[in-house]
Chains A and B, each alone.
Chain A
Amino acid sequence: MPKRNKNGEWLQQTVFVGPGLLAFAIIVLVPFLLGFYYSFTEWNGLDLDKAKWIGMDNLHRIFTDDDKFWRSFWFTIRFTAITVVLANVLAFLLALSLSRPLKSRNALRTIFFLPNVIGGILLGYIWQFIFTKGFKTIGELTGWPTFELPWLGTPQTGFWGLVIVFVWQTAGYMMVIYIAAMVGVPKDLTEAAVIDGAGYWQTVRKVTIPLIMPAVTVCLFLTTSNAFKMFDLNLSLTKGGPGTSTQSLAYNVYAEALVNNRYGLGTAKAMIFFILVSVIAITQVWLTKRKEVEA
């Protein structure tokens, strides 16, 4: 009897966890672990089987002789810093306005969220048209020089073009999270603050924001990690150009491997990319844990 029970336990473990474990192992775990090996090899796209061990050469090359990688690194840092601030400020202000009793509140929430359901690839193509043809027409109609710039034609404006589209895409998502948190703020607390003579912005700063801190953390983390990993938009809006001036890190990894066919070098970069993303994630977990202890 006990033996049969044990068999039953094994069978259950296999049935319930087995399929997931198998898929996870094949698709994520094994490729990820292989990455550590391939990072130290020379491996070109044509000869998938013949990866040649070359030790630290790839890392050496990345750290001493790869300006493009480090330029894309700084590009990504700047892009992340700016979009995180802009997207969250915009999302927070939208959430504040749309949690007040406005008549068109529901329709407005829908509209601000809308860009988010469309993928980065299609959004990038849509905005490629706006920046090249739409802006030109607006510029001709209004005479505003901002619209007559070659938006996707210079590194500076290309950068801001990506920022605009990313913020446009992300703000609605964060707005939804902020609204959900604001709904949870007890009315009597904000009303008490108003009775005590606090103005609107004072109430927001001293009552609302401290009470929605968990949502703020979630949104900051989501935008940071999404911006840092931006790829689709980069591919369809600027293709990293002009030249390679607007390449994000993810795009640089992709281009190294699948455009230049240097798989080994690409994998080494990919592993560095992974370490950078993990640092962001660990920082976030650490910050959240610390907050929870305080609270």
Chain B
Amino acid sequence: MSKPHANVREGRSSRLIGVEALAILLALLFLSPFYFVLVNSVKSLGEILVDAASLPQKYLFENYSKVWDIIRFPRALWHSFEITAISVAGIVLVSSMAAYRIVRRPTRFNKALFFCFIASMTIPFQSVMLQLVRVTSLLELRGNLLGIVVCYLGFGLALSVVLFHGFIKGVPMEIEEAAVVDGCSPYGVFWRIVFPLLRPITVTVIILNTLWIWNDYLLPVLIIGSNKALTTIPLAVTRFFGQYTKQWDLALAGLAMSVTPIIVLFLLLQKHIVEGITSGSIKG
């Protein structure tokens, strides 16, 4: 290999190292808030106020056990899980079926409905929230699990139908026709043949809706309200902050445990989440 060529190579790789060093530095900066939370979550309040940056002199793990009981963490975790899981399952079920019918039977009604779904995606939550409280109170959908699930169904449908719609358009009809000839009912065709083919977009729909519902705050506040039997993690943390202002030792322990479930989920399913978000945003 000739010398100048080697030099070019070296120049390139040293530039790459420079880029890498810079990126790592920035990544550390990105992570620093988590460092502050973790380090201070095991300090006494006095120590936090004196020095919030260094490692604790004495590790106070009882911050965690205290706040675990105060915000009743297991209960909040369970409700977040319950509400998210049921709502997402409902959204997948209902929106895939609706999208399938809209693609396969593009009647004037179904086309208009699809247009309504798309148009409704621009409505901000704040523009319907007050009237929603009114309507859900009338229908006795406030303060119970069914109510919050129906709300998520209503708000989650539009994007999910659009995503399923885009995917189903590309599914060939021949397989379905063959199944019909073999005597399969229309419902059987959908469940046994079409739905399994929708797997990639189903993963996207699950991920986008899970991240949204898990972290959502204002809708549960309005719909669950004061019913403590349904408190989710964001509600529990907010309530805690209202009662224990400036008690940073407990607050940070509470925050650390509250962000853990979703971070663990993200690290486990990272590849799917990143792919899901990419395809969701390009098609949506």
Q: For the complex, give the distance between the alpha carbons of A65 and B30 in Å.
A: 43
Q: For the complex, give the distance between the alpha carbons of A127 and B33 in Å.
A: 7
B64 to chain A, nearest CB (A): 16
Residues of chain A within 8 A (CB-CB) of B237 are 121-122, 125
Residues of chain A within 8 A (CB-CB) of B150 are 23, 26-27
Q: Are B128 and A28 in contact (CB under 8 A)?
A: yes
- Which of A32-40, A56-64, A152-160, A201-209 lies on the face that meets chain B? A32-40
Residues of chain A within 8 A (CB-CB) of B153 are 20, 23, 27
* Most A-side CB within 10 Å, residue of B116, B134, B263: B134
**B117 sits at the interface (CB 8 A):** yes
Q: Are A133 and B49 in contact (CB under 8 A)?
A: yes
Residues of chain A within 8 A (CB-CB) of B101 are 12-13, 16-17
Say which residue of B137, B157, B161, B234 sits within 8 Å of A119 (CB atoms): B234
Write the chain A residue with the least CB distance to B102. Answer: A17
B283 to chain A, nearest CB (A): 10
Q: Are A270 and B24 in contact (CB under 8 A)?
A: no
Q: Are B98 and A16 in contact (CB under 8 A)?
A: yes
Q: Are A32 and B128 in contact (CB under 8 A)?
A: yes
Bitwise, A8-46 to B at CB < 8 A (1) or not (0) is 110011011101110110111111101100100000000
- Which of B65-73, B174-182, B248-256 lies on the face that meets chain A? B248-256
How many CB-defined contacts (below 8 Å) exist between A and B?
Answer: 249
Bitwise, B239-271 to A at CB < 8 A (1) or not (0) is 001000000100110010011001101110010
Residues of chain A within 8 A (CB-CB) of B129 are 254, 257, 270
Check A270/B127 contact, CB under 8 A, given A16-B101, A125-B237, A136-B52. Answer: yes
Check A126/B255 contact, CB under 8 A, given A26-B139, A29-B116, A110-B270. Answer: yes
B136 to chain A, nearest CB (A): 8
Q: Are B24 and A32 in contact (CB under 8 A)?
A: no
Check A15/B126 contact, CB under 8 A, given A180-B282, A235-B217. Answer: no
Write the chain B residue with the least CB distance to A8. Answer: B186
Q: Are B259 and A122 in contact (CB under 8 A)?
A: yes
Chain A interface helix/strand/loop/mixed: helix
**A193 sits at the interface (CB 8 A):** no
**B198 sits at the interface (CB 8 A):** no
**A274 sits at the interface (CB 8 A):** yes
Residues of chain B within 8 A (CB-CB) of A173 are 277
Write the chain A residue with the least CB distance to B266. Answer: A117
Say which residue of A17, A35, A100, A102 sits within 8 Å of B97 (CB atoms): A17
Check A15/B94 contact, CB under 8 A, given A35-B127, A119-B234. Answer: no
Residues of chain B within 8 A (CB-CB) of A75 are none
Residues of chain A within 8 A (CB-CB) of B128 are 28, 31-32, 35, 270
Q: For the complex, give the distance between the alpha carbons of A38 and B130 in Å.
A: 10
Write the chain A residue with the least CB distance to B39. Answer: A134
Residues of chain B within 8 A (CB-CB) of A20 are 94-95, 97-98, 153, 157, 161
Check A119/B214 contact, CB under 8 A, given A29-B116, A129-B37. Answer: yes
Residues of chain A within 8 A (CB-CB) of B273 are 117
Q: For the complex, give the distance between the alpha carbons of A122 and B101 in Å.
A: 39
Q: Considering the complex, which residues of chain B in the window 177-216 have a beta carbon less than 8 Å from any beta carbon of chain A?
A: 186-187, 190, 211, 214-216
Q: Are B134 and A34 in contact (CB under 8 A)?
A: yes
**B115 sits at the interface (CB 8 A):** no
Residues of chain B within 8 A (CB-CB) of A31 are 128, 131-132, 134-135
Q: For the complex, give the distance between the alpha carbons of A132 and B153 in Å.
A: 39
B117 to chain A, nearest CB (A): 7
**A215 sits at the interface (CB 8 A):** yes
Residues of chain A within 8 A (CB-CB) of B55 are none
**B274 sits at the interface (CB 8 A):** yes
Residues of chain B within 8 A (CB-CB) of A240 are none
Q: Are A111 and B31 in contact (CB under 8 A)?
A: yes
**A271 sits at the interface (CB 8 A):** yes
Say which residue of A102, A129, A270 sits within 8 Å of B16 (CB atoms): A102
Q: List 18 A-B contacts (CB under 8 A).
A: A20-B157, A23-B157, A26-B141, A26-B150, A35-B131, A38-B130, A104-B23, A110-B270, A111-B30, A120-B217, A122-B258, A125-B237, A133-B48, A173-B277, A177-B278, A218-B282, A229-B124, A266-B130
Closest 7 CB pairs of A and B: A27-B154, A119-B215, A16-B101, A31-B131, A20-B98, A274-B127, A137-B52
Interface residues of A (CB under 8 A from B): 8-9, 12-13, 15-17, 19-21, 23-24, 26-32, 34-35, 38, 48, 94, 97-98, 100-104, 107-115, 117-122, 125-127, 129-130, 133-134, 136-138, 141, 168, 173, 176-177, 180, 214-215, 218, 222, 229, 231-232, 235-236, 250, 253-254, 257, 263, 266-267, 270-271, 273-274, 277-278, 281
Interface residues of B (CB under 8 A from A): 16, 19-20, 22-24, 26-27, 30-31, 33, 36-37, 40, 48-49, 51-53, 94-95, 97-98, 100-102, 105, 110, 113, 116-117, 120-132, 134-135, 137, 139, 141, 150-151, 153-155, 157-158, 161, 186-187, 190, 211, 214-218, 234, 237-238, 241, 248, 251-252, 255, 258-259, 262-263, 265-267, 270, 273-274, 277-278, 281-282
